Every structure is written in structure tokens, then in C-alpha cells.
Structure 1
Amino acid sequence: MKPTTLVLSILFMGLTFTDCLRAQSLKKEGTKNATFQSKQIDSLLAEWDSQEKPGASVAVVHKGEIVYKKGYGSANLEYGIPNTPATIFHIASVSKQFTAFSILLLQEAGKLSLDDDIRKYIPEVPDFGKTITLRHLANHTSGLRDQWNLLAMAGWRLDDVITKEHVLQVVSKQRELNFDPGEEFVYCNTGFTLLAEVVSRVSGKTFAEFTRENIFEPLKMSNTLFYDDHQKIVKNRAYSYYMNGDKYKKSVLSYANVGATSLFTTVEDLSLWTMNFKSPKVGSEEIIQQLNTKATLNNGKNFGGALGQFVNQYKGLNQIQHGGADAGYRTYLGRFPDQDFAVIVFSNYARFNPGGIALKIADLYLADYYVKQEAKPDKPIKKVEYKKLKPKQLDRFTGFYWNEKERYSRKIYVKDDTLRYFRNEYSENPLMPIGDNEFQMLGVGVDLKIKFEIKDNSQVMAVTIGNDAPITLESYEPKPPSKDDWIAFTGTYYSPELETAYTVKIEDDKLLAKHFRTSDIEIKRVKDDFFSGNRWYFGNVEFVRNSGGIVQGMKVSSGRVRNLWFEKRAAVEP
């Protein structure tokens, strides 16, 4: 500030000379902090700051202003086009909050209620004998099976052209729910495709038109749209990539459905959306409150979900967030409402971790707000002392263990003189002895103990995990692979729900499930008639026998789809 300017400030604003000097000092300090934060963010994203790689776009919003924005890497590797804050990304499931918001706008206008039955608006949804409300759909408690899992089971590739009509047809053929509505939380994309269709049918506009007119245009989100036409040209969009060996390859996305996904936007535009939560220009404070409020199950318990978002704490601060992942796009929006702060990270690379980067960026700005965890003198941290058990003592606990309720198997084995709890090749934890038959599980972030014991005076070993609502698994002996034994499972299996079939055959000493549109699925025996598949959409297979012991069908589950029935139609030659 020049001397003449300083004098004028004192004369016309009633400021003291000290006030002006303090203002100058604060301005310099703010500039210094911003420079430091900018350099730190650059350091976090340095790996992606190359035109030879896909990358990311970042924006930070604080107190109604974008305080940082920048692009890294390439939006298009073929043409060397850089990512910028104005680059348009497909943001996948971060789209869902806009779908829930649209429903709330219509509710406020008196045109529907969150507690309406979905069949009131979309009668094609089957009558399961249980009411599924719009609220159930918006907080993932409907019990409906997930559209992506069902399509994949039916032989679709996720880079096929998938339209709204395709999804509605799959929904209309569902024969049973995963669970009764409101009883559980299981993430379900189907619900948000249905909600977008409700918006369309109630408003008389396409969902893309409704959101443009009622959200994007009022908020001046000029580079934002719901992409409901896979052939539409969108200027300045980023394309997505994955790594195959040591080369990047295009990760193709041809979705033509909206609601659960398919919002195209920039970090600049999404920043305007985050500002609307603090000072609503679109919607009302009541709508914002409803959108941000945790949902409850039928038993009254919360599970962290809100309407199209998730609510959690991060280092003592309230955060409302959602991430997204489709093709090679990886996105994250985290809002800290009490600090009027938001961080947005979009990437066009499949291995990118946007949530991890976003929270590291949040650390740079919010450290002064974090709750300090002070050690209480009357409760000193107790150092765990591990026992030394001999190899023979550890060998007693090795083997396979079965959870009958959840229908899964675990393996416990010894490696490098340490007992290990094995889930799969990507997930296992060491078990450190704290007693003769009690162990501490390491690497899980919580105090988790497991205890081995003889059950019912027999030689069956049981392992109990945790203290609150403990999980119990019982030891069993898996059957070795056997062609003679497998013949009973071979045959053609048909799903009337998906109108598709798999042929189960023995080839090259493997039991395979074969579909004419997809790669073969190897299914390995876990226990008795329960098998595990090696595809994300074909995770568990349980063969079902009739009273005479003859296999009559199989139930296939994949996390978001439970017990999908395939009837055995014909045997095949072994």
C-alpha cells in the first residue's frame, strides 16, 4: 500500500495507522500461505504433471471462493491436450447427489413425496409384495439388485452402449429383492436410474433438460450436463485411460443412461455447486438439510449414508462426500460444511486415488481445525506384549474356516513364523499371539482380536473375531478337485430373470462357467456345493440339489446381487 493510499484509508474509513499495518500484514500472510499450499498441491500431483500421462484437475473452495484451481497431465493423449480447471470430466457416482436434489425440488413443489411408492411413477418395477419408496432408492436401502452387476451377469460388457431403456428392461424382470426395503444398506445404482426417470415422468422433461433448467443454468454451471446420448459431441472433454503393461490404453465409456452416473462437469462448475450449499440460490435450506441428513434403517440405526451422499468424520471434522469410478474416470467431492470448505479432484486415469489426494489437500487448509487427540494421564496407552509360540503351536490353528451365516471361507496359514489370516491374494493380515490361543490382528486400524477354541467338545476348531457382535467361523476340510465329483455340476443353467444361460464344463482340469459373450469364468470349490468365481460379477456360486441329491440349479451372488437363480436345463458331456 502506497503512503498516499494509506493516508486516505485512515481519513475516509476511520482506521488507525496500526489497523492499516495489521491489514497489510494479514494480506501478506495470506499470500504466503496460498503460495505454500499451491506448492504443496503441485508436489502431491507432481507425478501427473506431464503431457505424456493422463492426470487430474483440482479445485479448492473456501468461504464462497475458489482459492485454488489447476489441471495436471493430458485430457487426451492422442492429441496432447492438457487438463485444465475448465476440462470437462465424466464424474460417475458423484452425479447421484444431483439426482436426489432434483427429487427434493419436485417434492418442495408438491409434485411428489420421498415416501411415495416407486410403482406410483414407474409401474414397470415389479411388485415384490414390499413397498419400495423413493427414499429407499435415494439412500441405497431398496433391496433392488444393482444394474451393472445384472447386466454383466447377462453377458454385457460395461463399455457396451447401455441406455436407460436397457436398464429399465432389466429392472422389470427382477423376480426377488436382495433384502426387504429399509432392512439393510447395499449400494445400488439401479435406484438412481429409477429416480432420474421419476423426475422425467413427473416434470414432463428429460432428466438432462430438467437439471439444466432448474440447477445448472441458475447456478451458471455453463459447462455441465447430464450425458444421455453417447453420440453427443462435448467440446473440451477428457478421455479416460488405464495401464496395460507399460502402455496407456483408452478406457472406453459408452453410457447413455443418467441418474446413477453420467454427469459431465468441470472442477470450476462443481465449485459453484458446493457454494450453493452455504447460500442456496437453487433450492432451499430445508432441501439442503434433507440432502445432508443421515438416513436410518428400519431398526433406527444410521449407516453413514444420506441422500446421494455419505456423511462421516475426518480428523474430527464433519465431512459430506462421494466418490466416483467409471471406465478410467476417478472423481471425488468432499465438503466440510462447518468450515465452509470443499475440495474437488477429477482424474482420467484408472489407478488414480482422488479421495486420498483430496484429503491430503484438505490437510493443507484445515490442519488448524482438526481435533487434537490428547492422551489422558489416567488411561496410559498400554503396550501390547506378544508371546512367542513355537511352530508346532502355530500349526494347530492352520486350515480353512467357514462362516455359515455370510457364506464365505477364510484360510489361516503360517508364513515366516507368523500366523496369517488370508482372504484372497490381495488381502491378508498377520496374527500376533497375545495368549496360547488368542491373537491380535495387525493392519486393520482397530483393536481386533481373534480367539481359537474347541467347539462342543469335538475336534472342530472355531475362530471368533472381535468382541462386539463377534463373528464365528468353524474349521472344515475342503474337498480336493475331482473330475468325477465335478460331473454332477456340469450342464446348461438358465436365468429367466436375465434371459441368459451359462454352460458349466470341465476343461483342462478346471470347472468353468462359459457364456457366449464373455471370457470363461473359473469356479473353484470352497466348501461342499459352494464355489467361488474369478469375476467381479460372478463371485459366489452355490449349487442347489433336490431331495434326491441331484443338482437342479445354482445361485450366483456378487455383492450387490444375492442368490440370482439359474435353473439347470440340460446336462453336457464331461
Structure 2
Amino acid sequence: MLRKTFLFLGLLLAPAIAAAGKGPDRHRQVDALFAPWSGKTTPGCAVGISRDGVLDYARGYGMANLEHDVPITPRSSFLIASISKQFTAFSIGLLAQEGKLSLDDDIRKHLPEMPDHGKTITVAHLLHHTNGLREQGQLLNLAGWRGDDVYTEADILWALTRQRGVNFEPGAEVVYGNAAYTLLGVIVRRVSGRSLRAFADERIFKPLGMTDTRFRDDHTELVPRRAWAYSAREGGGWRSSVPNVDHYGATGLFTTVGDLLKWEQNLIDARVGGQALNAMLQTSGSLNDGTATGYGGGLRLGDYRGLRTVGHDGMDGGYRTEALLFPDQRLAIVALCNGSTLVPADLTRKVAEVYLGDRMKTVMPPAVKLPEAELSVLAGNYWSPLTDEVVRLEVKDGALRQVGVPTAFVPIGDGAFRPGESMHVWRFSAPTAGSPRTLSIKDAWPTFRDFTPVTAPLPVTSVLATFAGLYRSDEVDATYTVRVADGKLAIRWPRRDEVVLDAVGGDRFVGSLGAVTFTRAASGGIDGLTISSRRLRRLRAERLGVAEAPKATATVDPR
């Protein structure tokens, strides 16, 4: 009880202490990190830091509501987006402890409406993102939902139960996605007989004294002290960016930095749930070949500069959030932000350096210099046979970059690059006789994705006309119209704006919806198309009408 009292008093008094200049030097260093977001004309963040379970600092920076001049405080409530997943996983773990389900259960035991994809998808596959299910938001977008539409649990189930394909065989890969955790939320309700909201409130939030925390299952519900969310407007300024969702499990939790620090402490002392459940949440899943995924139960398991970390980030609408725990040093850092251009994952790690910098190692691979001529030979279009993704690279302002992405690639030697200051690795192989240069990408997950150069020539305008037509996908109940507009292909479907497709070679194109690949019948005529991205592979649409043989040969457009 005494600890709770100190925590509450700390939350109330921290801003005043900082304003009076009485905080220790480390607090002033934290303030400096968030200084760009501390004004009255921008969104910002609430930040909370605890050491050994005791609040060390909490403060708000920037505005919770730009229209009404409401500042962010430590008691401001934020949608924490994907940080919600660990509470869904914890609820599943509680039910497993009670013998009401098993992590080895086929999900169709609890979700009989899900299609049989030929291989068993288990509850554990959902927890660890090794399930292969297509991304729910992208499915609904391709079915015609707009960004400001209300997305419901029923809508997501409608889309998932229509799917005839998956991204990969369960356990073969790890690909982060939201569909799994929406389904886990449904499983909690069906197994326990109570909504995830009611279950988590009774079994997690009330026992931990998280009185400002709740899953929101109705987007019209009023949330006390809510921080509104914003995204950057082209040309300057901000616009409202609050997601309209009536589903939860993958997202949907509103909380404050003070409440979230109570939960972070539970990840250490396991006061609620016990050590066995705590260990389950913090144990990595594994692939069929035994490779550890680095993802537990709604938690990313990693390290930062040589120190073990447990945490998660979140992104939904204009909300950007991060909860980061250094369990061995008993340091927890929470940053809840309400502007789309903020990167709390970077900020929390800079805060960690203030507190733990003397214990950290320098692990960032050093940059090496490469002449622009060597960079130029790496530019071009690359395609992944595994995922059907297309990556486009260019040399701009003296650096290798992804087309449309500002982050420069930093060469680190032996054909490898890192994007900016991240630890991701993009590695190019040297071409050999009979084999072209290839690209392998390793991001936050343990395995590389291999890409090969797209060598097919770009189609000329007369060839583009052969792709035009209507294409139907029953999996999302949508018909797509492909036409030639201003010398490029464009695709449109009901209720969505037309998307321009850039040719990358042969039958492959890219646009804001991902990679679009046209397929051909044995006659050579185009009989359909597939749409692919990182979290959704080869969603097929059949061409309506008889496939026609190509009318011209694809050659490089001389323009």
C-alpha cells in the first residue's frame, strides 16, 4: 500500500519538481530528449520511469488536445496500440493455467468457423506470430474499407473466414500480424464466458491497481483525460488521426504511464499470475526447425547495447507508444505519444542510455565509405520468391535508399548495409558467372528474406493495355478495375481511391497496396493477378472474361 501511495504522489508531483529545477541531473537530460515536443503547438508524450519498482520520474511534454489547449500530463490516457497484445497473451495464459485451454489446441476447437488450411494452427502459433494468417487490416482495405471507417471484430472474422490461403505453413516462419491477437481475444471470450475487457479488468487490472486502464470495445465511449492523436499534414501542421475500431486484443487498450509501470513491475515480481506464467510470456517462440523467434507472449525479447530487454511498441492512427523493460537492471521506461512523427522506441532507448549508459556496450557496426559508383550498381528492383514482395532501391544524395523512404543505408562492409541507426542488415552478394547479384534482408526477426534482381524489361504503353480489365477476388468479395492512365497502370476497387502502379519489369508492378503481379494462363494470356506485401502474400483475383494472348512483346520503353 505504501508503494502505491508513493507512486501516486510521484505522478502528481513530478512535473512540479521538474519545473522547480529540483530533479536530479538525469531528469534534466530526459527533458532535453523530449524538448522538441514540449511546446504548445505540437502533440507530444507522457513519459514514466521506474527503478526497482519505485517511480523515478514522470512528466508530460506537448499537448493532449491541440484544439482545446490541453497539455499532456502523466495522467493523460493513451491508446497503447500493440502494447495491448501482452495483456491478451496474459489472459490466455491464465486460462491455460486453469486447464480451460491448451496452447497446443487447434484454434478451430475454439474458432470452428475458421477455414481448414491443411495444417493445424495452434493457440501457440497465434501467440508467437508463427501462424501464417494474412493481415486483417490489409484484407479489409482490399475489401473496400476506408481508413476512417469503423472496423469491428465481426468485420475481421468475416474477412479471415473467407481466406483460402495463408502466408506460410504454420511454424515455418515468423511474421508479425494483428489477426492472431484479435482471434486470441475472441478465444478468451468463448472459453471464459466473459469479454476480454471484463476478464482483464477482473484478473489483471484491478489486482494490480491499474485503475486508469481498460480495453475499449466501443469507439464512441468516453475516455477520461484522453490524449487525442494526430498525424502530420502535408505542407505543415496536424490533422486528427484517431482510429475508429470496435475490436480489441491486438490493440484497443487505453492506459497511463503510471498504470503501465505497475504492469512492468509485475513482469519482474509476478505478483499477479505467478512466476510460471511470467516465464511463459517471456519465453521465445520457435520455428519448426527450432529457431528462436525472439517473440514471447505479446512481448519482444531482445537486447540493447548488451543489456537484455523485454518490451513492445505500438502504432495505431496517430498514437505511437513504447514500453521497455531492462529486467536485470530493474529499470522500466514507458513513452506514450500522440503524434505520428514521434518515434518513442528511439526515445526510450536514449532515456535508457541516461540511466544505464555506463553499463552498455558499443555494438553498432561502424560505417565504411563506398564510392557512389559502387552504390549505383546495387540500385534497382528486387523481388522475393518467398514473399512475392518487391523492393526498389536508388542512389539519392550520395546514399543508397529505398525508393520513397528517406532513411539512408549505411555501408558496414562485406556487402552489408544497415538502414540508418538500426541493427537491421541488408546484405548484397557479389554476382558470379551465371548468377546475378542477390539481396538478403534481416529485420527484427531471426531469418533473412532473399531477393533476386528483376531483370525483365519494362512494358511499353501498348503492352500495358493488355493488363486492363476486371479482376475478381471472392476472398475479400471485391472486383478490381485495372486501366491505363497517363502511361501507367492504375487499379481501383469499390469505395477506395485509385492506386497508380509503377512497372518494375515484366508482369510485376508496385503501388501503395503492395506488389501486384499479373499471372498468365498456358496460352500466354493474362488470367489474374496477385497482391502481396510483408504481411499478406499472393491474394489472388481472377480475371473476368477469357484471357487473351499478349498483343505485343514487352520491351524497354525508350522514353
TM-score range, shorter chain: 0.7 to 0.9
Q: In the alignment, residue 296 of structure 2 is paired with which amino acid?
A: A
Q: In the alignment, residue 567 of structure 1 is paired with which amino acid?
A: E
Q: 1:168 to 1:461 in 2, by over 3 A?
A: closer
Q: Indicate which of 535, 538, 542 corresponds to 1:560.
A: 535
Look up the match of 1:530. Answer: 508
- Match of 2:89, SS state, is helix
* Cα drift, residue 405 of structure 1: 2.7
* Cα drift, residue 410 of structure 1: 6.1
Looking at structure 2, the residues matched to 433 and 367 of structure 1 have their Cα atoms a distance apart, in angstroms, of 24
Alignment of 1:111-190 (within 5 A): 111-190=100-179
TM-score, reference length from structure 2: 0.85
* Cα drift, residue 514 of structure 1: 1.1
* Cα drift, residue 329 of structure 1: 0.3
- Match of 2:64, SS state, is strand
Looking at structure 2, the residues matched to 101 and 315 of structure 1 have their Cα atoms a distance apart, in angstroms, of 28
Alignment of 1:396-545 (within 5 A): 397=377, 400=380, 402-403=382-383, 405-406=385-386, 407=388, 421=400, 423-426=402-405, 441=417, 450=428, 452-453=430-431, 455-456=433-434, 461-463=436-438, 473-474=452-453, 476=455, 478-482=457-461, 484-533=462-511, 535=512, 538-545=513-520
Looking at structure 2, the residues matched to 544 and 38 of structure 1 have their Cα atoms a distance apart, in angstroms, of 59
* Cα drift, residue 394 of structure 1: 8.9
Looking at structure 2, the residues matched to 477 and 49 of structure 1 have their Cα atoms a distance apart, in angstroms, of 51
2:313–2:321 CA contact under 8 A, matched in 1: yes
2:464–2:488 CA contact under 8 A, matched in 1: no
Deviations 1:258-288, CA, capped at 9 Å, x for gaps: 1000100000111111111222221010000
* Cα drift, residue 33 of structure 1: 10
Identity of aligned residues (%): 36
Q: In the alignment, residue 120 of structure 1 is paired with which amino acid?
A: K
* Cα drift, residue 486 of structure 1: 1.3
Look up the match of 2:555. Answer: none
**Residue 279 of structure 2 corresponds to residue 300 of structure 1:** no
Look up the match of 2:184. Answer: 195
**Residue 242 of structure 2 corresponds to residue 252 of structure 1:** yes
RMSD, aligned α-carbons? 3.1
Deviations 1:300-354, CA, capped at 9 Å, x for gaps: 0012111111111111110011000001000000011111111000001110111
* Cα drift, residue 55 of structure 1: 1.1
- Match of 2:328, SS state, is helix
Q: In the alignment, residue 295 of structure 1 is paired with which amino acid?
A: G
Q: In the alignment, residue 540 of structure 2 is paired with which amino acid?
A: W
Q: 1:246 to 1:447 in 2, by over 3 A?
A: closer
Q: Which runs of 5+ in 1 are unaligned?
A: 1-31, 374-380
Q: In the alignment, residue 556 of structure 1 is paired with which amino acid?
A: I
* Cα drift, residue 232 of structure 1: 1.0
Look up the match of 1:74. Answer: 63
* Cα drift, residue 34 of structure 1: 5.2
Look up the match of 1:3. Answer: none
**Residue 262 of structure 2 corresponds to residue 272 of structure 1:** yes
Q: Indicate which of 52, 67, 85 corresponds to 2:41.
A: 52
- Match of 2:537, SS state, is coil
Look up the match of 2:557. Answer: none
* Cα drift, residue 192 of structure 1: 0.4
Q: 1:551 to 1:328 in 2, by over 3 A?
A: same
Q: Indicate which of 318, 342, 352 corresponds to 2:342.
A: 352
- Match of 2:500, SS state, is strand
Q: 1:354 to 1:429 in 2, by over 3 A?
A: closer
* Cα drift, residue 403 of structure 1: 4.3
* Cα drift, residue 233 of structure 1: 1.2
Kindly report structure 1 stretches of 4+ aligned residues shifted beyond 3 Å.
381-386, 397-404, 406-416, 420-423, 427-434, 438-454, 460-475
Aligned residues: 519
Q: 1:203 to 1:524 in 2, by over 3 A?
A: same
Q: 1:75 to 1:108 in 2, by over 3 A?
A: same
